Chain A
Amino acid sequence: AQSVTQLGSHVSVSEGALVLLRCNYSSSVPPYLFWYVQYPNQGLQLLLKYTSAATLVKGINGFEAEFKKSETSFHLTKPSAHMSDAAEYFCAVLSGANNLFFGTGTRLTVIP
């Protein structure tokens, strides 16, 4: 079965600093991986996805993630944090044929 683990339930960064949100996966087959963002009281919005093409995936709002098979990781990064990036971020992996398995989420706080 496929699963993901997000390290760090809360991350705080200063405005303008690097954002790094960690996600490790476990999968017996080549994984399809996703990052979603959830703003307060809203649904999830897809940031980016890895579907076995390029290992460096660029998404919306300046975010990107790199698939590293040797480390079983798919960490999310952004060079410079903006106040509007404050939200909850979820890593997910395609589990079985029909659904996504989500991590427990990382709440990002951006300090002015």
Chain B
Amino acid sequence: NAGVMQNPRHLVRRRGQEARLRCSPMKGHSHVYWYRQLPEEGLKFMVYLQKENIIDESGMPKERFSAEFPKEGPSILRIQQVVRGDSAAYFCASSPPNGGPYEQYFGPGTRLTVT
């Protein structure tokens, strides 16, 4: 049973480009969470999604960031017009329908570097 998959594992973008980060939850999981980890810091919650719905985006920056979890396919975290401050590790977690935030399984992360 594969765990949470994230790709790419490493992503380099120049300032002003777009970054697309993908997350495939564990089989049978319908909830996805995105977190950002800045260097030397803990993870910070960004957004919580269920299939086709954004449930809680209280941690998302107001501009340039968006997330989706379509009916088919992976969840996507999209960052438009990246800036150096977006350089971080982005982690996705998934949980089963009856697990909620108590039972989050994390992917290996995508490390974004903005040059």
* Chain A residues in the interface with B (C-beta under 8 A): 9, 32, 36, 41-46, 49, 51, 90, 92, 94-105
Q: Min CB distance, A102 to chain B, in Å? A: 4
| Stretch of B13-21, B37-45, B73-81 at the chain-chain interface | B37-45
Q: Min CB distance, A64 to chain B, in Å? A: 19
Q: Min CB distance, A49 to chain B, in Å? A: 7
Contact B101 A94 (CB under 8 A): yes
- Which size class do B's interface residues fall under? 20 to 34
Inside 8 A of B48's CB, which chain A residues have their CB?
98-99
Residues A44 and B101 in contact in the complex (CB < 8 Å), given A98-B56, A99-B48 = no
Q: Min CB distance, A27 to chain B, in Å? A: 15
Contact B45 A101 (CB under 8 A): yes
Inside 8 A of B44's CB, which chain A residues have their CB?
102
- Out of A44, A51, A97, A101, which one reaches B91, CB within 8 Å? A44
The residue in chain A whose Cβ has the minimal distance to the Cβ of B46 is: A99
Complex CA–CA separation, A78 to B65 (angstroms): 40
Inside 8 A of A98's CB, which chain B residues have their CB?
33, 45, 48, 55-56, 100-101
Contact B108 A100 (CB under 8 A): no
Instruction: Indicate if B107 sits at the interface (CB-CB under 8 A).
Output: yes
Inside 8 A of A96's CB, which chain B residues have their CB?
56, 58
The residue in chain A whose Cβ has the minimal distance to the Cβ of B59 is: A99
